Structure 1
Amino acid sequence: MRKINKIEPLMPALPTRKKVAAYARVSMESERLQHSLSAQVSYYSELIQSNPEWEYAGVYADDGITGTKTNREEFQRLLADCEAGKIDIILTKSISRFARNTVDLLETVRHLKELGIEVRFEKERINSLSGDGEVMLTLLASFAQEEIISLSNNVKWGTRKRMEQGIPNGHFRIYGYRWEGDQLVIVPEEAAIVRRIFQNFLDGKSRLETEREFAAEGITTRDGCRWVDSNIKVILTNITYTGNLLLQKEYIEDPLTKKRKKNRGELPQFYVEGTHEAIIDKETFDYVQAEMARRKELGAFANKSLNITCFTSKLKCSRCGCSYVRNQRANRTKHTSTYDDTIVVWGCGTQKKKGGRCSNKDIPERVLREACAAALDLEDFDEDIFLERVDTIQVLDGQVLEFHFYDGTVSQIEWVSTAKKDCWTEEHKDRQREWIKKYMANCTDGRFNEFTTRIRCEHCGSTFRRNTQPSKSADSGKMHYWRCPTSGDCVTTGIREDRLKELTASVMGLAEHDAEVFKAQIEYISAAAGMVLTFHFFDGREESIQYNTKRQGTAWTPERREKFKASMQGKYTEERRQAMSENMKRIRSEKHWSSKRK
């Protein structure tokens, strides 16, 4: 029978199409540029879809965003799709559309090159995957960057020319006014708040007091936020409220970074008078500026809302340069007649900041006053003389104060902190010991038992402490001992807790140890040299007993003896006995020969 094979028709292999996307960008929002952006999108959409070898992957377009930065929304989405493998080729009009920063451009193109993605710049006719592509990109990108710098300089020149004519650079936001056309118009509700801020300052109130006052009354900014010190300072220093404008108070330092910088004389400023209605008269504004300068010179002394002393802003930390601040702490000995209710110390201000740390020690105010009196050669500290003579005090390492006087002289005084000594008086120590004793004796959480604080060493006066160590003879696998904490230098030894319980039971005439009866009858147990334990009863009786420190083995039962005897008989056979006998004879003969040789 004939064999017949069916030949299926072969489908022609179609070439794999490249996934192509385009990127378009305009940097300014206007009707003409909007038309330019839509034209770019339409052009690239039609171009990609008309090529049979390409697969349309979309057009990414950023509207009204500068090319000096890469943090553009559509540009970042394009890069994310490239990393996801959705794009093989990127089309763009020119280098300046893709990026105007040389460094950003080269980093992006190189990253895409590592992913195997090609970038084509139509105007410059550059392919990023070609051999000379990167060289041309570097040169042309530098030209694009210089172009943006030149354009920025031209814009700045035009802005300054308008400022010379008294025309501000755009409609800036300012609290208390709104723009109507090109004219600033007063907002009555906001203007009342501005006048109140100035009046509070004229009344001697600090910015902090005004902040608290507004917070208590629920007064917020235009955006509904709380008034804070920085907002209030901006109001007090803004000359616009006088009906005049000061132009070019800030400027952009670098057109690539777009970083704004306050103009402190680097560029000319333009003062334009009578441009709009005033909220604050010029005389009041000038007085407020002078008063702010005076308060700044005084520092913390100008803020009456702060609790200041003669040491405020005088103490400086040598480690971090911060001023020392005053702190009050509760005195644990306050119920005694000798000490105050609080302890005042001066500490580095760094510790007040979030996450701030400084290793310089706190100085008790009493010690500080004594050190200042010694530096000024005074018997008692005098605040007036201190303020008159001392400029600053540097807190150095090693508990040293360096005094800088107004006459230019410098002296150093060592100080010693007595805070711990002042706090831990003998009365306070006794009270703390009594509290610990009662707490440990009455604690019911299992951490302490009836012997805690009740066993005392007559040799060194210490209280015995409980120790735990492994033990094979104990059912729980561990044994408790009571030892003197200075056992290395003490004549006493450890006491096993189980034997201690047996002794206490026998002393109290009980069949077995009872913790509650023990605590009710015995005040404490004293351990003397030779381990003589003396039990002191609450009724005044004393009873001594010798504690045997030698280990006492467990008596063997008859069954254990028989078992051991049978085991030994099984091990010592006649062969083993004969071998041991011969070995002993050899050892004796060798010993006899060696003794003769000597």
Structure 2
Amino acid sequence: MNNNLAFDTDIQTPFHIFQDKNRKRHMVFYGRVSTEHEAQLSALENQIQWYDDQAERHPNWVVVDKYIDEGITGTQAKKRPAFLRMIEDAKAGKFDLIVTREVCRFARNTVDTLVATRELKNLGVEVYFVEDNIWTMDGDGELRLTIMATLAQEESRKVSERVKAGQHISRNNGVIYGNGNILGYDRINDTYVINKEQAETVRMIYDMYLHDGVGATKIANELSIRRRVAASGKVKWTPSNVSRVLRNPTYMGCMAYGKSFNNNYLEQKRINNHNSDTYKYVKANFEPIVTEEEWRECERIRKRRRRELSIPMVRKTPFGEESVTKPVRESHDKWNRKLRCSCGYTFRKNRWHKNKNKDWSYGYQCYNQLNNGSAKKRREQGLDTTGYCDMPMIADWKLEIMCKMLLEKVWSERTGAIQEAERILKLCYQMDNAVQSEAVAIKRKIEKIKLKLDNLIDMRAEGDISIEEFRKRKESLNMELASYEVELQEQKRMKHATKEKEMNWDAVHKSLEETIDFSKSTVDNEVVDKFIAKIIPQGNNRFLWFVNLSSLRSEEIEMVVEGRRNHSTVFIYDEEKGEESEEDDSSVHSNILYISDIASELEAKKYSPEGAQHRQQSQKRMHN
């Protein structure tokens, strides 16, 4: 290839070279059509024939391949697989010439065009735009290419504007977009025709929501029980499916436009618009299933309920500021924050009943069951259970007793833990007092500088130093004085922030003891948040606890709880033995965790005031 190149000795860059265009070239063709319409595909066939004719006219061309993008936009290179494959083959050195009919076939984005041709140029690959007679290796090739690419991009912008204008007209005429797969309707030609059986399901949803005051979850469960078919053709209902029916204005005989938009004509990235207030509603030419009043009332109810369960906030969108809602804050319940179902969902706290002490008992239910119904009910109805959950509700006392037993084992030396905590607190207290001492030292330095300034004035008055020397020393002392005064102000600020007060160390000791006192009925929220990372129930009696051993990792511990609230037994499962080993609870103590591997230290223990007898009784009851 180098034999056909003649370098210009006055120009040192490898791009300014004289080449023989009639030399033998290993070349490829690139073509593209922008839509999949039949007329455009016919145009593609014409392009391919045109490329074949070009190859016949240039006997020095050896055709290596043809790269064709069908039904692809030209504004983005990343959306054209054939184009990207061509670039990769160019990097592999499979050819040294790309022939395309015109610049707009290569790309309609000026930046993409220039970036691609420059990259190819660095690889020693030339691009020839036949209709525009542009060879990228020519001296003025890039200039002419820039002009033509800019024109192509401008044409793309005009096409985008024409498309938007056409969409505006079609929307005013109520033209139907989409595939027409809407529950309650069959799409016939350019309109919707009511499907009576499906429309009855839609009517049920609106009646239950409007007149019975039923929410989306209960509606979904009721529809499953009645075996009503969803838009997918299956008896599979979720609260999301129900909500989409309630939000869809098609059912009141209107088309809603503006639910999504392209960010610009070059990227053409589709962005969803969640602000329903900006939608454009146009009356359509098909029969509604519900009245407009019913649909509007459903919207009011839905938004009111959402406001009651959410935090209002304002979000900026391309349409301006929009009022949206933020999900409810993280639960204040410690177990809600830690529980994660094996199906991936979180749990909801339910109030059950009052115990003998007249305190409420609570249980936790998987949100998958709340939202979609249980797998058990679907099995009873002969329905598919894939993705549904069978996790039983979890009593709060089980979590409390397991946590107490676990933390009792983790804190094996309570006294040492409290002493260490007190030592750290006292050290911080001493650091606060050190701030006061440092402020006193700074004040002494300030007094010394002021004394020096007085002496300096006396020396000048006696004529011991010149005016220049006086000014120089005075400026230096003033700068030093200002520096110390700033530092003193900072110390005063710190003093205000950490104002010294008499520390009641007896109260501190008592508070620390109460924090790790597990004789109480419940474990403190702060302790659970600090040391428990996550809890995954494996069934009604078996749980995986993830305990924070440090800021870097957590240890997985499997626990089993059996029996009733006042007659329960808790075990830490020994994975190596494959069974729950028993031991009297007299060896269960307390302390802060200093061990590095809890799995090797924790033996399978039980936490049971009544001893092994109750476990044997519990096992007998389970077998019976």
TM range (shorter): 0.3 to 0.5
Higher relative CO (Cα under 8 Å, sequence separation at least 6) belongs to 2
Q: Say which one has the larger Rg.
A: 1
- Write 1 or 2 for the structure with the bigger share of helix: 2
| TM-score, scaled to structure 1 | 0.48
